Structure 1
Amino acid sequence: MILRIFGKSRSNRLIVQRQYGVITATARQPCFYTDYGVPDTVMGRFEMLSVVMILFLRRTSKSSESGKQMAQEVVDAFFMDIDYSIRELGVGDNSVPKRMKKLAGMFYGRLERYVRCLQDRDLEQLAIALAQNIHSVEADPADMAELARWMLANADHLDRIDEIVVETGMVSFLVPESMETGRV
């Protein structure tokens, strides 16, 4: 019995690592930074990783209990990765919790706003939200129109995937260059 517990834990860890790897690989696609207007900065990469995580969480919110549990573990991996990145940037140990709290607040604020726009299929408001979060309040939403369309296409794609794909950590995303057929 004890071996089954350890085996399951290792299996879950591999599933979570695989899924988080797909999420980060998607967020790191060069076209987001060269063609979609996301700045190639630490915060730009945080914003793009947040966008992909939000798409993933939107899908897994409709999952079975095991899918939701796996999603929570992916979120935990996301925040552990952010914590590690903050430390690698040289932020002192005493400042890390404060920065993590701020970034978590930013992430969950974006989650609520982006999901609402996706549910309403409101590309205009989604582009406005993306422009404000990725650039600034004064940014032109037209600069984020392609990213908003990509998000909506992915939301539709993720809505069509089977639950077993979620539970096994095999969720894939459409890649911008070939949204019609490509996946990461």
Structure 2
Amino acid sequence: MGLFDRLMGRDLPERRDGRRIYFRLLEQARDPAFFGSGRFADDYDGRIDLISLHMAVMMERLRADGEDGKLLSQALFDEMKDDFEIALREEGIGDTGVKKRIKPMINFFYERAKAYTDALNAESPQKAMADVLMIEPDPDAPTSFELRVADYALEWLSSLRNLSMAQITQARFVFPEV
């Protein structure tokens, strides 16, 4: 499935919806407000970390929609993976290099998405999320930016829970201020 299916003209509705949502999340994850001193690094890790945060929040919301949510979550993941592969190919990396490089990228995504999901479901989600973000290593005190991003993620998840699946599939969601 994925890239091959699109090239062959097979485009499932959940893939179209996943693509629409993914590119909306990707656009938001590139917001300059997330980057800078004491914020996310504007590099490979920082950008994947931000897309992981947005994907984790969206996938957490989609879990509430049973099988439909599961299908859309998978389509969303497939879009991200295809996007990673396209980016590597645009850098001039061949098949063998893509296979070697995509695996660490996906593993990094899984690691961060799990940490974010666990934080969203923690007893004290704001503190747990700020701890996961930990941009400036100080385990005793999250920075104001880490707390702001934690609040951002929790506020966005709360607003997503008020939307129907139809609104989500049309990417009719609003991001809070960073």
Rounded to whole Å, the distance in 2 between the matches of 1:10 and 1:38 is 35
Rounded to whole Å, the distance in 2 between the matches of 1:148 and 1:79 is 25
Alignment-mate amino acid for residue 30 of structure 2: R
Does residue 176 in structure 1 map to residue 177 in structure 2? yes
Q: Deviations over 1:19-76 (max 9, x none)?
A: 1221111111121114871122232111111111111111111113223212211110
Q: Give the match's secondary structure for 1:64.
A: helix
Alignment-mate amino acid for residue 129 of structure 2: L
Matched residue, 1:123: 126
> Are the counterparts in 2 of residues 19 and 171 from structure 1 also a CA contact under 8 Å?
no
Aligned length: 167
Q: 1:144 pairs with 143, 146, 155, which one?
A: 146
Structure 1: which 5+ runs fail to align? 1-6, 178-184
Alpha-carbon shift at residue 91 of structure 1 (Å): 4.0
Q: Deviations over 1:82-104 (max 9, x none)?
A: 11222333445323223221121
- Normalising by structure 1, we get a TM-score of 0.76
- Normalising by structure 2, we get a TM-score of 0.78
Rounded to whole Å, the distance in 2 between the matches of 1:26 and 1:163 is 20
Matched residue, 1:106: 108
Rounded to whole Å, the distance in 2 between the matches of 1:164 and 1:36 is 37
CA separation of 1:48 and 1:152: change in aligned 2, threshold 3 A: same
Rounded to whole Å, the distance in 1 between the matches of 2:10 and 2:78 is 18
Matched residue, 1:181: none
Matched residue, 1:182: none
Rounded to whole Å, the distance in 2 between the matches of 1:124 and 1:86 is 35
Q: Once structures 1 and 2 are overlaid, which stretch shifts more, 143-152 or 11-20?
A: 11-20
Q: How does 1:17-36 map to 2 (within 5 A)?
A: 17-34=19-36
> Are the counterparts in 2 of residues 31 and 176 from structure 1 also a CA contact under 8 Å?
no
Rounded to whole Å, the distance in 2 between the matches of 1:8 and 1:97 is 24
